[in-house]
Every structure is written in C-alpha cells, then in structure tokens.
Amino acid sequence: MAGLFTAIDSHRPIKSDNLGHLLIGEEHLDDGFTEFDAKSPISDRLIEEDSKFEAAIVDQNGYVKGEDPENPQEVVSSAAVRTPEPYNRDAVVDATTEVYDKFIRQYEQETPTEIEFDQDHTSHEEHTDWSYRMTRTVQIGDQRPLDQNLFKERFRIQFFEQTLLMTLVFGPDSITKPSVDEVVDELAAFQHEQYLKE
C-alpha cells in the first residue's frame, strides 16, 4: 500500500489489550474513511533495541480514503504501546528512524522518477516526528519550473514513562483543507488528553 508507513508487515503478532481509548476512532474523521488492518512496522526493531518491548501490550487501528484501497488518497493510523517497565526513548527513536528510512527508500523505488521525496525528522520534549513530502517539478510554457506539492505524511510518537502513543496521517499536501501537520497535531492532542485521563 503506497504512502503508508504502518502498512509494512511485521512478523511478530500484535498483543492487544484494553488500550482502545488511546486510539483515533472513526468519529474523529471525515466521511469516506474505511477501516483497514494496520500493522506494526517497528515491533521487531523495538524488541531488538530494548527487550522491555517483548512483553509490551499493543493496540492499533487505521483508516483509508480513496477509490483504490491499495493506493489511498488519505490515511489515518494510530497505536498505543505499553511496556511493563520504563523504556529507553533513544532506543525507540533509533529503531523508528532506521525503519522509517528503509520505508522511504522502498517507497521511492516504487514511485515514478519525476517524484521527489523531502524527508524530515524533528524531536521535541514530549514527542518525535518523522515525515516526508512528495513533490514534482512542473513546466508550464516558458515560465520557470515550479515545484508542485503532491502528498505528505507525518508520523508522531509521544513518549510517556511506560507508554508510546503513535499518530500517522498521509494525504494531499493542499492548502484547501487542514494540512497534514494540523491534523496530526489535533489527533495527537486527543490521544494525549485520553492518556492524561487514565
């Protein structure tokens, strides 16, 4: 499935428990989204980096929008991971960066060569974001070539002592609707509020 970091298969089964209140539900989305079976792309690497994730409880979901479910126009996915003991944040960031970089390289190989990827990774006190933007150069007549924004994805992990909250949004990089960044901020804030209510 193009444009979707969480679609990378994991060989490790998901252990889910009562963490559904920390996920993004259908009620937070526009009409037209349908649920899909979200995978956990970083489970194996997290366990390699920090053995506390071997016994982690994981719950996750995902929604797609578009005529072709294999190449959706929009994706929203969320996950909650709870470890029995405090985990190592640096290990999580390192593992996620490695897997995300690998995903971008694979996605670039499947994408027409005129499409360019601009990748970004930023860390803040309570969360880290990974993102990419897809652009292409458009030539209109004799005018200077213009970069046309196509799609953007942002993946955020919020860090708490024994809990990770993950939020992913992929969609058109458009100014006519809330940006991908704005949607991630809004949905991640909801997850944060839910965590604080526990």
Per-residue pLDDT of 91-139, as tens digits, reads 999 999 999 999 899 888 888 888 999 999 999 999 999 999 999 877 6
pLDDT per residue as tens digits for the range 130-144: 999 999 877 666 776
Distance in angstroms (rounded) separating the CA atoms of residues 194 and 49: 28
The highest-level CATH class for domain 5-196 is alpha beta
Query: What's the rounded Cα separation, in Å, for the pair 40 and 105?
Result: 18
- The ranges assigned to domains in the chain are 5-196
Q: How far is CA 100 from CA 31, 49, 81, 163, in A?
A: 29, 15, 18, 20
Is the overall model pTM greater than 0.85, yes or no?
yes
SS percent in the chain: helix, strand, coil, step 5: 30, 35, 35
From the number of C-beta atoms within 10 Å of its C-beta (0-12, 13-18, 19+), residue 10 rates as middle
* pLDDT tens-digit profile, the chain (198 residues): 444 455 434 444 455 668 999 999 999 999 999 998 776 668 778 888 898 998 888 888 899 998 887 788 999 999 999 999 999 999 999 999 999 999 899 888 888 888 999 999 999 999 999 999 999 877 666 776 677 889 999 999 999 999 999 999 999 987 778 999 999 999 999 999 999 999
CA 146 to chain centroid, in Å, comes to 28
